[in-house]
Amino acid sequence: MATPGSSSVTAEPVAAWRPAEVREVVHETPSASTLLLDVQGWPGHRAGQHVDVRLTAEDGYQAQRSYSIASAPEDARLAITVERLDDGEVSPYLVDDVRAGDFVEVRGPVGGWFVWDTRDGGPLFLVAGGSGVAPLMAMLRHRAAAGSDAEATLLLSARRPDDVLYVGELETLAGVRVEITYTREAPSGWTGYARRVDRSMLAEVAPDPERDPRVFVCGPTGFVEGVAHDLVALGYDPSRIRTERFGATGG
Amino acid sequence: MPISRGFRRRHAEPPAGAALPPGQYLTEGFPVLSAGPTPHVQLDTWELSVTGAVDPERRWDWEAFRALPSETITVDIHCVTSWSKLGTQWEGVSVDTLLEGVEPLGGYLVADCYGGYTTNLAVEDVTDGKAWVAFAYDGEPLEPEHGGPARLLVPHLYLWKSAKWVRSLVFTEHNEPGFWETLGYHDHGDPWLEQRYG
Amino acid sequence: MATTAEMRLDGNAVAGLLREVFAMEATVALVSCAHCGSAGAIGAVEVYAHAPGVVLRCPACTEVVMRFARVRGRLVADLRGVGTLSLPASPDPR
């Protein structure tokens, strides 16, 4: 894998836009799809990085958005998972309209702050709000593909069972503790968490602060800031907590 | 570059007879654009002033400001990020009213805002019924996200000139580019002339 | 209506833009704020991207650290809010 930012003079700059062919669209939930892409000259990525995606209309109009990469560096195709924002312009197209054989452009990978490599070790504590699970899934897929035995815990907050991304795969991840909390509607007979992530839930689920876990939090801005604030209050080292906010990105 | 099949800009069609400035498209929502956190200004500490190269300077607290005569304004607004919104209804105090008995000593001003934002304007662009300090939108007190308690409204220019959370109109002798103008946006910003960049 | 608090992003969100400016992965660079002196990774600064330009603010004091705008095919950067910038040095002997 090429190292992003390596100084080979022949390599195309990472900032260049590359054509990407959609090879498969997986409808993950009623509101989210995963696009599997073949990118010409893709230099490889690290788990947690993202890509900028650009769409060009027939009339030349262009729109650009940033999406987390959900696939592991080891995977054959680049995967991004897109959640539909109803008043959006790009996300409804990517979730509902795009199909195999269509083209988009991608630039990247970008980001070096919110990344995890098996060499970084564990314990790993991942906290996701909704579709914020995507870059964390890249980390868990990387962990599995690289045969890492780093201790890993995922705490995932979802509104309702329909909203959980990668649900089948989450059940089969070996050696990963997965805790889901439902904030609006839990499955019938559910005995797990059914509330917003709060300080006591974090205290129960997270590896002990003494063990100095690497913490990655991804989700909507308010969710991320609340979780990060609670973790610091619980005694976790702020320098080990890395966050990625989705914000209201305008779709 | 490859075309993404079936992708197109999402926008509403302008009603028959309505014209939009070049490069603009219609929106029915009211997008929130911001260069920073929303300042939450309390009315009991809020104030508005007319200062700098003027004689004399003026200052109002919220009560005094709201005691000034106000007007209802129905205007189209145009954002440089290319959305336009038609027929927006505001309530505000005309800048002419604020400048009654005040003589500007230069040709320019800077709108200085809570939160640190600034934008520069020519005096002739805020006088003669062209600009207001608005405190209500669509019949309701102006929400903080849209510039409340009060914002400048200069609807004949791109909306970045209609500074949110305005605190002071600082009159100047020379043109002093503001927050976006120093980064390359146009000093005047007329949407019909598509003056996006300087 | 989205509030500006919900629209606040972090430096990761503009990694692509920063790569255009710095020709390297800049989110791991350490930046100090010229206003308050606090320092941290660019990936952790606050970003306001829903505006005519992109504004990076210090998470400690909220003052502007960097601003960027695309103007007539050029990318304009204002770095006056930066105290120091600390980047991984190139490994290449020169």
Task: Give the A:C interface size as CB pairs under 8 Å.
Answer: 83
Instruction: Specify the DSSP element, H or E, that contains B63.
Output: helix B62-66
**DSSP assigned state of C32:** E
> Model confidence over A123-146: pLDDT tens digits?
999 999 999 999 999 999 999 999
The pLDDT value given to residue A7: 38
How many whole angstroms separate alpha carbon B196 and alpha carbon C71?
9
For residue B17, what pLDDT is reported? 79
Confidence of residue C8 (pLDDT cuts 50, 70, 90): confident
User: Which pLDDT tens digit goes with each residue over B154-173?
Assistant: 999 999 999 999 999 999 99
Residues of B in contact with A38 (CB under 8 A): none
Residues of C in contact with A112 (CB under 8 A): 15, 25, 27-28, 43
Three-state DSSP class for A58? coil
- The model's confidence at residue B112, banded by pLDDT at 50, 70 and 90, is very high
Q: Would you state the pLDDT for residue A235?
A: 96
- Calpha distance A198→B14 (Å, rounded): 47
CB pairs under 8 A between A and B: 47
Please answer whether residues C5 and B38 qualify as being in contact, where contact means their C-beta atoms are separated by less than 8 angstroms.
yes
Strand partners, A125: A153, A215
Helix boundaries (H) for A21-150: 91-92, 133-145
Q: What angle do CA B93, B101, B67 make, to 5 degrees?
A: 35
The whole-number average pLDDT for the span B44-66 is: 98
| Cβ atoms of residues A9 and A73 within 8 Å | no
Q: Give the integer Cα–Cα distance in Å for B30 and B81.
A: 13
CA Rg value for chain B? 17
End-to-end alpha-carbon separation of chain C, Å?
53
Share of residues in chain B with pLDDT > 90 (%): 85
pLDDT at B67 over 70: yes
pLDDT, position A1: 38
Q: Which of residues 31-60 of C touch A (CB under 8 A)?
A: 41-44, 49-50
Q: In this predicted model, what pLDDT tens digit does every residue of B19-32 receive, in sequence order?
A: 899 999 888 888 88
Provide the terminal-to-terminal Cα distance of chain A, rounded to the nearest Å. Answer: 32
> What does the alpha-carbon distance between residue B44 and residue B144 come to, in Å, rounded to a whole number?
15
Question: Shortest CB distance from B7 goes to which of A19, A55, A87?
Answer: A55
CB B85 within 8 A of CB B27: yes
Q: Does A209 touch chain C (CB under 8 A)?
A: no
Cα separation, C80 vs C67, in Å, equals 9
The pTM of the full predicted model, rounded to 2 decimals, is 0.87
Strand partners, A48: none
Q: Give the alpha-carbon dihedral of B22, B28, B33, B38, to 10 degrees.
A: 150
CA distance A79 to A72: 9
Judged by CB atoms closer than 8 Å, whether chains meet at C48 and B116 is answered as no
- What ranges in chain A are assigned the alpha helix state H? 91-92, 133-145, 167-172, 199-205, 221-233
Is the CB of residue A105 less than 8 Å away from at least one CB of chain B?
A: yes
User: Are the CB atoms for A227 and A137 separated by under 8 Å?
Assistant: no
Measure the CA–CA gap between A183 and A197, rounded to whole angstroms. 8
**What CA–CA distance (Å, rounded) separates C77 from C75?**
7
Residues of B with Cβ-Cβ distance to A92 under 8 angstroms: 10
Calculate the dihedral angle through the C-alpha atoms of B81, B84, B89, B94, rounding to the nearest 10 degrees. 60
Question: What pLDDT is recorded for position A3?
Answer: 41
Give dist(CA B171, CA B155) in Å, integer. Answer: 20
- Give the pLDDT confidence score for residue C7 in this predicted structure: 81
Which pair of structure tokens corresponds to residue A152? 């890993």
With tokens 């919900």, the residue in question is: C6
How buried is C48 (Cβ within 10 angstroms: 0-12 exposed, 13-18 middle, 19+ buried)?
A: buried
CA distance linking residue B9 with residue A168, whole number of Å: 35
Residue ranges of chain A with pLDDT lower than 50?
1-11, 249-251
What is the amino acid identity at position A232? V
Tokens matching residue A206: 């997270």
CB B157 within 8 A of CB B190: yes
Which token pair is C89? 């040095």
Q: What is the pLDDT of residue A9?
A: 39
Do residue A113 and residue C16 have CB atoms under 8 angstroms apart?
Answer: no
What pLDDT is recorded for position B16?
Answer: 77
